[in-house]
Amino acid sequence: MTDERKTPDMREQMTDIERLRHSASHVLATAILKIWPEAQFAAGPPVENGFYYDVDLPHRISPDDFEKIEAEMKKEIKANHPFERMEVSRDEALKMGQKGRLAALSDRDQPSKYKIDIIDNIPANEKISLYRSGDFIDLCAGPHVMRTGNIGAFKLTNVASAYYKGDEKNPQLQRIYGTAFKTKKELDNYFAMLEEAKKRDHRKLGKELELFTFDDDVGPGLPMFLPRGAVIADELEKLAKETEFAAGYQRVRTPHIGRESLYRKSGHLPYYAESMFPPMELRQEGKEFEEKEKRFANLSEIVDAKQETPEQYRELTELRVERANRYYLKAMNCPHHHKLFAAIPHSYRDLPLRLAEYGTCYRYEKSGELFGLMRVRSLQMNDAHIYCTPEQFEAEFNAVNEMYLNYFRLFGIEKYLMRFSTHDPSKLGQKFVDEPELWEQTEIMTRNVLKNSRINYVEVPNEAAFYGPKIDVQAWSAIGREFSIATNQVDFAQPRRFNLVYKDRDNTEKTPLCIHRAPLGTHERFIGFLIEHYAGNFPLWLSPEQVRILPIGDDAKVLEYSMSILNELRAHQVRAEIDKSSDNINGKIQRAEQMKVHTMFVIGKRDMDANAVSVRVHGKGNLGAKPRTEAIADILQSIKERRA
Ligand SMILES: [Zn+2]
Ligand SMILES: [Zn+2]
């Protein structure tokens, strides 16, 4: 999705489907040239779920043109041209560009201007190659499929505008998007999935099922959970608390704001300032304040006269920060947790120390990037920080991964991927904190854990966080849509910045490692994911409304019997409701089904006489009558086991 040039190494790593899709972009260009021979092409890479080609053309391409273009593409695929690679010198390539022969079917009046510009940007030591398929010759480093016929099925999807190289000073091009698959069946499945995804869209279901809402007066990107959505957040929190308690975590609570000095210490300021809400300035007063002001003036004079000691200079710097006395909404919980670690002296016996909090953070996402619950400005995070010795790291990290896998099983997440991002030794001290041994050590340990615990992962070099390796967790919903769920980080820089220490066996002070982890991500994103994953049909334990009691008719005795069941369920903490409206039973059932209520107890006179209930489950229909005690026991058991 980037306009950056791909290095030959990155090209080597292109997957089979990416090769196929990129090859389809050559075919797309060929087809466009058959119709509009004057078209000039820029870049045509594969992207997530498809490919595009940027074209400069006076005719404005619209979806109405797609059929015509697709027909030409089909001809090219049917012709089954091989993709032939030709290595040429820079001069030869430029000469062809001048003749308009690059990204073209023949020589032309106009030079292939974008291709010439691309050649100018190819490093001197890199080979220049052209690819030919049929009459079409393009400047390209590959790779492709063997023949155009290998493109099994494709479809053009969209047209948008894009500046050349993403720079608005450059000409505006038309970006034609398409997607391609090996087989027609895969292509059909993909579009069926998109159709289904539309129905499951969490913004749509969130509204229909009354789960959450946004309000302009509250502010964009600040979701509020309605009672039915808050219940889901509560259940997830309960799950996290139980799981973490059993795993030896301890819970803490911290405020939503922190002073500027805290974020200077953590390094979030100034580097992360753009992603934080602007600071709040507090007015100062009182005797202490006046004295500090005097001290500040005094130190300033000394520093101005260049007569300060290093201590005085440090004091002045600290006062300067304090004078600003600004507070920030917290964008992450780590700095507060580090301060909690530091609040009590620790020895090696206290480690690992696992501090957990469902902390609320605030991040300033650009308004154009806000998206439902997926990209928000306030987020409640399933956060914890594990402080441990290097010897404990492997076991701790492994336990974190086990927790992930257990959650995946619980939620029926069958496909997931952990992206393990490592550092690049040549960028130590610039992109990555300069701790070569710690990098190597933690990366080896992390890799070992991932390898030994049968976890599905890929390693991505050069994408670690500044202060340590990280793991991004992606999960696919039931219909195959991909979501970024959470990020884990190994951190050996922040504990040092905060002077965190523990007394080791030999009585020396050492700095602990810190693992940041959040397996359930944030409530916002995880609930957004779950809504789409379950299509709003939550398992009983997560259902906003677990049982709705539907009495038939208005017989006072039946109503009384129904109420006694309602009270019994509620006494057991079951989220049960009763529909006492005067509607007929079909209307009541319809309304409950519409709200995707998990279980309905339909109660008529016959049920009452038999001390029974007729059980109906959303999506499964009528399950018949059951003795009252059995029906209630089933409900309680299913909730207790968090049954799927
Ligand atoms: Zn190519
Ligand atoms: Zn953290």
Round to whole Å and give the CA distance between 426 and 249.
37
Q: Is residue 324 included in any domain, yes or no?
A: no
State the CATH number of the domain containing residue 552: 3.40.50.800
Same domain for 382 and 488? yes
Q: What's the mean pLDDT when you consider all of the chain?
A: 93
Round to whole Å and give the CA distance between 111 and 102.
8
* Average pLDDT, integer, range 283-293: 80
How high is the pLDDT of residue 479? 87
Assess whether pLDDT exceeds 50 at residue 99: yes
How high is the pLDDT of residue 102? 97
| DSSP code, position 347 | B
How high is the pLDDT of residue 288? 82
- Looking at all shown ligands, the one closest to residue 129's CA atom is 1
How many other CB atoms are found less than 10 A from the CB of residue 584? 11
Separation of 31 CA from ligand 1 center, angstroms? 15
Separation of 152 CA from ligand 2 center, angstroms? 45
Residues with a beta carbon under 5 angstroms from ion ligand 1:
140
Q: Given pLDDT bands bounded at 50, 70 and 90, which one contains residue 3? A: very low
Least confident of 1-5, 32-36, 318-322, 485-489: 1-5
Cα–Cα–Cα angle for 360, 378, 232, rounded to 5 degrees: 70
Separation of 514 CA from ligand 2 center, angstroms? 9
Find the domain containing 562 and state its range: 540-640
**Beta-sheet pairing, 326-329 with 353-362:** unpaired
Round to whole Å and give the CA distance between 467 and 141.
35
Separation of 151 CA from ligand 1 center, angstroms? 14
Round to whole Å and give the CA distance between 406 and 413.
10
Assess whether pLDDT exceeds 90 at residue 191: yes
Separation of 386 CA from ligand 1 center, angstroms? 47
Separation of 601 CA from ligand 1 center, angstroms? 61
Same domain for 240 and 389? yes
Same domain for 340 and 199? yes
Same domain for 452 and 573? no
Q: Is residue 291 included in any domain, yes or no?
A: no
Q: Given pLDDT bands bounded at 50, 70 and 90, which one contains residue 2? A: very low
Q: Is residue 136 included in any domain, yes or no?
A: yes
Same domain for 396 and 497? yes
Round to whole Å and give the CA distance between 59 and 513.
59
Least confident of 91-105, 293-307, 578-592: 293-307
Cα–Cα–Cα angle for 323, 327, 329, rounded to 5 degrees: 165
How high is the pLDDT of residue 14? 87
Instruction: Check if the beta carbon of residue 549 is closer than 8 Å to that of residue 576.
Output: yes
Q: Which of 148, 182, 216 is the last residue of a domain?
A: 182
* Average pLDDT, integer, range 482-498: 90
Cα–Cα–Cα angle for 500, 505, 509, rounded to 5 degrees: 30
In order of 54, 247, 384, 447, 485, the CA distances from 454 in angstroms are 41, 21, 24, 11, 19
Which of 526, 568, 570 has its CA nearest to residue 545? Answer: 570
Same domain for 363 and 448? yes
How high is the pLDDT of residue 4? 54
Q: Is residue 316 included in any domain, yes or no?
A: no
**Beta-sheet pairing, 457-460 with 415-421:** parallel
Same domain for 436 and 382? yes
Q: Given pLDDT bands bounded at 50, 70 and 90, which one contains residue 125? A: confident
State the CATH number of the domain containing residue 342: 3.30.930.10
Q: Is residue 326 included in any domain, yes or no?
A: no
Backbone angles phi, psi at 463, to 5 degrees: -120, 15
How high is the pLDDT of residue 244? 98
Assess whether pLDDT exceeds 90 at residue 323: no
Separation of 228 CA from ligand 2 center, angstroms? 29
Distance of CA 548 to the CA centre of its chain: 35
How high is the pLDDT of residue 166? 86
Same domain for 447 and 520? yes
Q: Is residue 65 included in any domain, yes or no?
A: yes
More confident site: 91 or 282: 91
State the CATH number of the domain containing residue 150: 3.30.980.10
Q: Is residue 317 included in any domain, yes or no?
A: no
Separation of 169 CA from ligand 1 center, angstroms? 26
Same domain for 549 and 507? no
Q: Which of 487, 505, 535 is the last residue of a domain?
A: 535
How high is the pLDDT of residue 1? 35
pTM: 0.81
Same domain for 432 and 456? yes
Give pLDDT tens digits for 427-454.
Answer: 888 888 888 988 998 999 999 999 988 8
Round to whole Å and give the CA distance between 375 and 573.
33
Separation of 171 CA from ligand 1 center, angstroms? 22
Assess whether pLDDT exceeds 50 at residue 578: yes
Assess whether pLDDT exceeds 60 at residue 554: yes
Separation of 408 CA from ligand 2 center, angstroms? 22
Give pLDDT tens digits for 343-364.
Answer: 999 999 999 999 999 999 999 9
Separation of 98 CA from ligand 1 center, angstroms? 20
Q: Which of 129, 160, 182 is the last residue of a domain?
A: 182
Give pLDDT tens digits for 531-547.
Answer: 999 999 999 999 999 99
Assess whether pLDDT exceeds 70 at residue 525: yes
Q: Burial of 600 by CB count in 10 Å (0-12 exposed, 13-18 middle, 19+ buried)?
A: buried
Number of domains in the chain: 3
Same domain for 508 and 607? no
Assess whether pLDDT exceeds 70 at residue 204: yes
Q: Is residue 303 included in any domain, yes or no?
A: no
Separation of 127 CA from ligand 2 center, angstroms? 44
Least confident of 270-284, 369-383, 500-514, 580-594: 270-284
Same domain for 381 and 243? yes
Q: Given pLDDT bands bounded at 50, 70 and 90, which one contains residue 618? A: very high
Separation of 359 CA from ligand 2 center, angstroms? 10
Round to whole Å and give the CA distance between 105 and 102.
8
How many other CB atoms are found less than 10 A from the CB of residue 538? 22
* Average pLDDT, integer, range 576-580: 97
